[in-house]
Amino acid sequence: MCANYSRFSRSLSRSPTRLVPKRQRTSPRLQPSGQPTRSTASCSPAENSSEAQSSDDERAISIRLRSGEEQKIPRSQIRSMNRWEPAPVSIAPSANFSRPEFSISFGVGLAYEVAGINFAARFGHVEAYVGLGVASLWPGGASFGSRLFLRDDGSGFFLGVNLAAHAPTIVYGYGFFDDPVIYPSSGFLGWATLTPGYRFVWGKLFFQVALGAGIYYQQTSCPTCTPDIGPTQQHSLGFLPDGAISGGLRF
C-alpha cells in the first residue's frame, strides 16, 4: 500500500497543484464495522522497511547457484564487482611443496637395481628416488633419478628419468656386457634411461608400470696388464632397454 502511495505522490508532484475548497472535503469513509479506514499517508516504520525491502528486491538480480538455491544480489554490489582490481600476489610456497610426500616401493627394473627397493620423496609434480637392489651388491653401486608427474597429487602418467653408477672390482672372467677381461681389473658401469609410465593410486597404496630404453656405459681397466697381453683399458657404449613393475606405500 505504501508503495502505491509513494508512486501516487510522485505523480502528484509532477502534475500542477490543485486547491480543493474546504467545503468539498469529505470525511473518511466508514467501513462496515464502523471504523474509519486508515489513511494511506500514515505508514508505520515496519511498512516503510518492507517498502524499502521490496524496492531493493526489484533492483536485485536473482542468481541460481549450483546447489539449486536462488540468491539475490543487489545491482550496486554487481557494479562494484565489475570494477577491475589487481589480484594480490603471494610468494608463499604452495601446500604441495611445503609438505613433501614420502613413499617406499618394491619392484623390478633398472630403477630398482634389477630387483630391489625404492625410497622416494615427492614435491608436487616432481618425485626423487634412490634405489638399492641386486646390482647394488654386484657390480656394487646404486640407482637414482626422478619421476615427473602430470598431476600434482603423484598419480597418473609420469616420465621416469633413471640413472645409476657402479664401481666394481672385476675378477677373472668377462666384463659387464660380455667384454673379455683376462686379468683382475677395476671398472665403472653406469646407465641413463627414460621410462614413461602410469601410477595407479588407492589411498596410501599405489601400483605403477613403466617401459622405455636408454644407454649404458662401461669402462674396465687392468693396472697389472702389459701391452703384449692385451689392452689395459676398455670402453663400451650401447643401447639398453628398460622397464619397471612395482608397488608401494605412500605416507
Query: What pLDDT score was predicted for residue 151?
Result: 95
| Partners of 162 in beta bridges | 145, 193
Examine the pLDDT at 187 and tell me if it is beyond 60: yes
Contact partners, residue 96, CB within 8 Å, separation at least 6: 123, 124, 152
Count Cβ neighbours within 10 Å for each residue of 118-137 and write b for 16 or more, e otherwise. bebebbbbbbebebbbebbe
Q: Which residue would you say has higher pLDDT here, 61 or 18?
A: 61
Examine the pLDDT at 88 and tell me if it is beyond 80: no
Span 76-98, average pLDDT: 55
Query: What pLDDT score was predicted for residue 138?
Result: 79
Contact partners, residue 196, CB within 8 Å, separation at least 6: 157, 158, 159, 160, 210, 211, 212
Please name which of 144, 93, 143 lies closest in space to residue 123, comparing C-alpha atoms.
93
pLDDT digits (tens, 9 = 90+) for 112-169: 999 999 999 999 999 999 999 999 987 789 999 999 999 999 999 999 999 999 987 5
Query: What pLDDT score was predicted for residue 74?
Result: 72
φ, ψ of residue 195 in degrees (nearest 5) = -135, 100
Query: pLDDT grade, residue 30 (50/70/90)?
Result: very low
- Decide if 158 contacts 196 (C-beta within 8 A): yes
Examine the pLDDT at 101 and tell me if it is beyond 60: yes
Query: What pLDDT score was predicted for residue 56?
Result: 53
Percentage of the chain exceeding pLDDT 70: 53
Question: Of the ranges 11-20, 120-129, 142-151, 233-242, which one carries the lowest mean pLDDT score?
Answer: 11-20
Residues 95 and 194: their CA atoms lie apart, in Å, by 29
Q: Which residue would you say has higher pLDDT here, 23 or 238?
A: 238
| Domains annotated on the chain, with CATH | 98-250 (2.40.160)
Query: What pLDDT score was predicted for residue 222?
Result: 67
Mean pLDDT over the full length of the chain: 74
φ, ψ of residue 156 in degrees (nearest 5) = 85, -150
Examine the pLDDT at 220 and tell me if it is beyond 80: no
Residues 24 and 26: their CA atoms lie apart, in Å, by 6
Query: pLDDT grade, residue 58 (50/70/90)?
Result: low
Span 171-198, average pLDDT: 70
What does 3-26 look like in DSSP terms, one character per residue?
A: HHHHHHHHHHHHSPP----GGG--
Query: What pLDDT score was predicted for residue 237?
Result: 93
What SS3 class is residue 42?
coil
